[in-house]
Structure 1
């Protein structure tokens, strides 16, 4: 960047507490990629129920949210003009987790079993619905229990037969506890759009240079994370208070395949968007979408 040029201040709502899964953003920040792109980027952390709504209300220029969240937000408020400009998690990171010695060998084997989920909301619930559909099951074929974010203890105490969690989180925690598991990953059965960089149509149209600069710098950070996860963990330490570096590296290594998908970093896949919309319509979470291609871009 030329000396003396002022940086444009922007913010992104990351929708969760500081965490190693946001390493591409932390690396882009600490290596000066945002600055080089003329941007002064603020990360707004914290669990927010309506992240896209906060962006529409002007609290953030960008948010890091999933395709299903965008579809639901758009369905709730048809005047909402928002667009996914880059999907960072190329695979939907949700899995159903069962003990290694469980009799559940396929999705259809879940019939009659108790499945623990945080609650009837968010990515874990959408992922559960997708996996049930893939196993040709309905919610009434299984017993779903809301257990909060206590999947690990619920599994360790055999309170439930299976839990829904994140592929890069709960299975690792369980294995660390000496509890061997098997997983059914959503992305192996059902294409769904996971977390990406979402902005308003207004920002996308009127500040396209800023949007391009932000996405490009983030993807540059993402490439560095994939190339050198250990360095990404070291750089992320200052962003994640009290981080356990060994565990963070383990999580990051499990997240890299989620970032990579089929190798097109940041790509928005038309078929995956269509599949996501189809599932949400089938589950009566949204009404049919007539202008789906307006909700994402690869420009």
Structure 2
């Protein structure tokens, strides 16, 4: 039913009837109300998708790999994950690509107990570190960061604690550090934890959050994929330009955060400084960085087959959006 409605709406649009917005299901890897998805939430709240002729509906899946599987199966055209995800799923024949990444930095940060005066990844030796799960991208980024510092996963006690436990155990002093997203650092600080983030230069350069699309959507519905990319990137640009105003917009869209605008602003500033920062062309995927991540996944046995680099991404929508300005 969804596919037939989408086809009819697209046909009307091509025929010149622009009043009817195209219904688009966008799969999220976690609850869409999370501050991690602020670019998307803000883009919808401010009508950026509507300006592209899209009526977008965020639907939660069971993580980024599940998003990719559902997109590959044709259950949706587009969805979100980490830029690393196509490396994992392409090895299993799932036809999806990154069409944009939201930032030049990796989304993984390593936070430590400020009381312990840990200043480098090497200081994690013998410590307990929490992660979301042993199959999450943040865990792989931690392993690579350890290796970069001359350590192995046996040199630390890594605990998979789930999306709440990863920062709650750390905040409660039951772990010495955690590897996770900027949201969890601010959550820990709000809980009274003295948090020190290790320099991002010491953290493995995995990818930022990505927009993924199926091969079929890229080929058959480029106007939809391009519209999603343009609108979402505008949401990210709004955060970079004015995190305080962006926090107010997010709180309007997600009432559970009303009164927590200051905390949201802190989260957004971490994303600006560590994830969104230094991306010369907003959304553009760096092939060299993606290749480095791909080689790591193969060397660690995370994937058994090395997918071709040019199967993992396309910058056509980001480049066309940039050229149109």
Q: What TM-score do the two structures reach when normalised by structure 2?
A: 0.82
* Structure-1 separation of matches of 2:117 and 2:268: 30
Q: Does 1:179 align with 2:196?
A: no
| Aligned pair partner of 2:263 in 243, 247, 252 | 247
Give the alignment of 1:10-159 within 5 angstroms.
Answer: 10-17=24-31, 18-45=33-60, 47-48=62-63, 50-75=66-91, 77-78=92-93, 80-102=94-116, 104-148=118-162, 149-159=164-174
Residue of structure 1 equivalent to 2:218: 204
Supply the RMSD in Å over aligned alpha carbons: 2.3
- Structure 2: 5+ residue stretches without partners: 1-12, 317-325
Q: Does 1:260 align with 2:282?
A: no
Task: Kindly indicate whether structure 1 or structure 2 has the higher relative contact order, using CA contacts under 8 Å at least 6 residues apart.
Answer: 1
Residue of structure 1 equivalent to 2:5: none
Deviation, 1:86, is 0.5
Q: What TM-score do the two structures reach when normalised by structure 1?
A: 0.89
Deviation, 1:46, is 5.3
Q: Between Structure 1 and Structure 2, how many residues are aligned?
A: 296
Deviation, 1:33, is 2.2
SS for the counterpart of 2:213 is strand
Runs of 4+, deviation exceeding 6 Å: none
Are 1:11 and 1:44, in contact at CA under 8 Å, matched by a contact in 2? yes
- Structure 1: 5+ residue stretches without partners: none
Deviation, 1:122, is 0.9
**Larger displacement relative to structure 2 (140-149 or 34-43):** 140-149
**Larger displacement relative to structure 2 (110-119 or 130-139):** 110-119
1:245/1:290 CA distance change after superposition, 3 Å: closer
Give the alignment of 1:188-203 within 5 angstroms.
Answer: 188-203=202-217
Question: Structure 1 or 2: larger helix share?
Answer: 2
* Structure-1 separation of matches of 2:104 and 2:237: 14
1:153/1:233 CA distance change after superposition, 3 Å: closer
